[in-house]
Amino acid sequence: MQYTIETFDLCKYYGKVKAVDRLNLRIKKGEIFGLLGPNGAGKTTAISMLCTILPPTSGTATVNGFDIVREPAEVRKSIGIVFQQPSVDDLLTGRENLLMHTLLFKMPREMRKKRIEEVLRLVDLEKRADDLVKTYSGGMRRRLELARGMMHHPAVLFLDEPTLGLDPQTREHMWKYITDWKERRK
């Protein structure tokens, strides 16, 4: 069976501290998978290795068939990420943030505007797209980050605590956006 993500004794040590110790996972295409554990359990570190932000101390993994150690550029092209910490530029508008992302991922010019409108609609931000992000609520910023992560049609979307700090209603909407996105990709 082909797995979208597969880890092979993936480890990350910081001196004597074992942040991730021999992680072995197999995640199927289309599967929604969650890493659960207390703070400091290594969840963000594991995601960071799978996204090629951090190199593993030992072991390896494949994401979309690409080895995270030998083919990091290919891994990065095929994934989307919503970081735990806010990472949108609040001095730009929502639309400008998304446009910048299309440029970073070298999205063809003829696709940019259409795709930006699609993801804005998906996360219900069309009416605020041209407002500066610094005027957005926390939930709106998280939805913009989710839109940005989905912008380039990634094969895998990594979400590092995407609903952190959101009220229950916004949290429910966030999971609806994610499941709707998953269904559209079938």
What does the pLDDT look like over 144-180, one tens digit per residue? 999 999 898 899 999 998 777 777 887 787 788 778 7
Number of separate domains in the chain:
2
Structural domain that includes position 138:
94-158+166-184
One domain for residues 146 and 115? yes
Cβ atoms < 10 Å from Cβ of 52: 21
pLDDT of res. 1: 61
Average pLDDT of 123-148? 93
> Rounded to an integer, what is the distance from CA 105 to the centroid of its chain?
14
Last residue of a domain, one of 27, 42, 77: 77
Given 52, 77, 102, the domain boundary residue is: 77
Domain-embedded: residue 83: no
Range of 51-60, 81-90, 105-114, 168-177 with top mean pLDDT: 51-60
Whether the CB-CB separation of 123 and 177 falls below 8 Å is answered with yes
pLDDT at 113: 94
